[in-house]
Amino acid sequence: MTDAPEKLTLTLDGGDVVIKLRPDLAPKHVEQIAALANEGFYDGVPFHRVIPGFMAQGGDGGNHNGTGGSSKPNIPQEFSREPHVRGTASMARTNDPNSANSQFFICFDDARFLDGQYTVWGQVESGMEHIDALPKGEPPREPGKIVKARAE
């Protein structure tokens, strides 16, 4: 038995996005995302990169421009064969595959070219329409924000 969280709820202005966590694919990533969420790290953090037909990226708790992380250490990659399809939650990183920290993205559509190169840690179960509705841009003029994030 494990008491690892099963779901991550992102409360956005439009409503809740519920993500099924996948510790079977990426236990270290799920542990870090859940810990950051429950510490309030993601509260008020914007989606700083939202590309139509591709993905919405957020989780930069520092300067909100995609260059920041958290005070926690980077996480070694946990790549899998899980496909990057609509609703997939995966970790952002630099060119170093072991540089994931706090930033993540949610795919709008199939992005199979990312398979095996980014760590998949969850799948949107409900509320994808709220991700679809995020303001677009790199960065958006007035970015959508995570009002609150909690793992349970």
Distance CA 41, CA 1 (A): 28
Compute the average pLDDT of residues 52-81.
Answer: 94
Do residues 35 and 152 make contact, with C-beta atoms less than 8 angstroms apart? Answer: no
Find the angle CA(151)-CA(14)-CA(122) to the nearest 5 degrees.
35
Angle at 51 between CA 111 and CA 77, to 5 degrees: 50
Q: Determine the average pLDDT of the residues in 14-21.
A: 98
Model pLDDT for residues 94-125, shown as the tens digit of each residue: 999 999 999 999 999 999 999 999 999 999 99
Would you say residue 77 has pLDDT above 50? yes
Q: Three-class SS of residue 142? A: coil
What pTM, to 2 d.p., does this model score?
A: 0.96
CA nearest 73: which of 34, 32, 38? 32
Grade residue 150 by pLDDT with cuts at 50, 70 and 90.
very high
